[in-house]
Amino acid sequence: MMEAGPDRDARDAALDAILPLVPLYGWQGSAIAEGLRDAGMAPEDAEWMFPRGAISAIEAWIDLADRRMEAAGLAADLAGMRTHERVRILIKARLEAAEPHRDALRAALSLLAMPWNAPIAARSLARSVSAIWYAAGDKSADFSWYTRRATLAAIYSSTLAFWLSGRGDGLEAALDFLDRRLADHARFQKGLARFKPRAA
């Protein structure tokens, strides 16, 4: 996660200006330059804000989405909820925030799917999944830290793909899909627990 400060604030403002332009220009230097101008910045600022161009801008956007999701979780007061309810609210907040930028998100995921961007895609997904778990209150430090994140990565990725596919009735259909995935996982965990050896 990017450290707080004026540089990050400027980058966030630039991204908010760039995102509406991506459907028109794509994730190209022209979108970044025009967005910077719209935000009152110099196009040359892209050199330090997004040193690798579009892929840096996409990474920064994912980081911004993580932070805004965490803020939404704090505002929702998750303390009295069960874990799956917390995860649902956090993923819902991500999808709601991305709703105006679905085309930009599709294009971003297409770029991340390129073989040469695979390490960045994996790193970004891992950070986002960790952000969801931390915001949901996860404090695990044993092997379950890894298994929880691997499981949630699959659930979140499939939900995102379903939502972007346009199947069903938008966000509500995606949340129903998410609920089914979370319920499937809960049933699996309960079934697995039956086979665990009991303490003597």
Considering only CA atoms, which of 87, 181, 179 is closest in space to residue 136? 87
Rounded Cα distance between 32 and 28, Å, is 7
Q: Is residue 91 part of a domain?
A: yes
Q: pLDDT digit of tens for each residue in the chain (200 aa)?
A: 666 666 999 999 999 999 999 999 999 999 999 999 999 999 999 999 999 999 999 999 999 999 999 999 999 888 888 888 999 999 999 999 999 999 999 999 999 999 999 999 999 999 999 999 999 988 777 777 788 889 999 999 999 999 998 776 788 999 999 999 988 877 655 544 455 555 44
Q: Is residue 48 part of a domain?
A: no
What is the pLDDT, as a whole number, of residue 190?
Answer: 55
Residue 9's H or E segment, with its range, is helix 6-18
CATH number of the CATH domain containing 93: 1.10.357.10
78 neighbors 136 (Cβ within 8 angstroms): yes
Q: Which value, to the nearest 10 degrees, does the dihedral of the CA atoms of residues 143, 149, 154, 155 take? A: 120
What is the pLDDT, as a whole number, of residue 157?
Answer: 94
- Where residue 77 falls (left for φ over 0; alpha for ψ -120 to 50; beta otherwise) is left
What is the pLDDT, as a whole number, of residue 191?
Answer: 47
Q: Is residue 84 part of a domain?
A: yes
Considering only CA atoms, which of 12, 14, 30 is closest in space to residue 22? 30
What is the pLDDT, as a whole number, of residue 94?
Answer: 95
Q: Is residue 72 part of a domain?
A: yes
Tokens of 69: 């999701």
Residue 4's H or E segment, with its range, is none
The model's pTM: 0.87
Q: Is residue 8 part of a domain?
A: no
Q: Is residue 96 part of a domain?
A: yes
Tokens of 188: 């699996």
Q: Is residue 158 part of a domain?
A: yes
**Location of structure tokens 């979140």:** 156
Q: What is the tally of structural domains in the chain?
A: 1
Supply the range of the domain harboring residue 118: 54-194
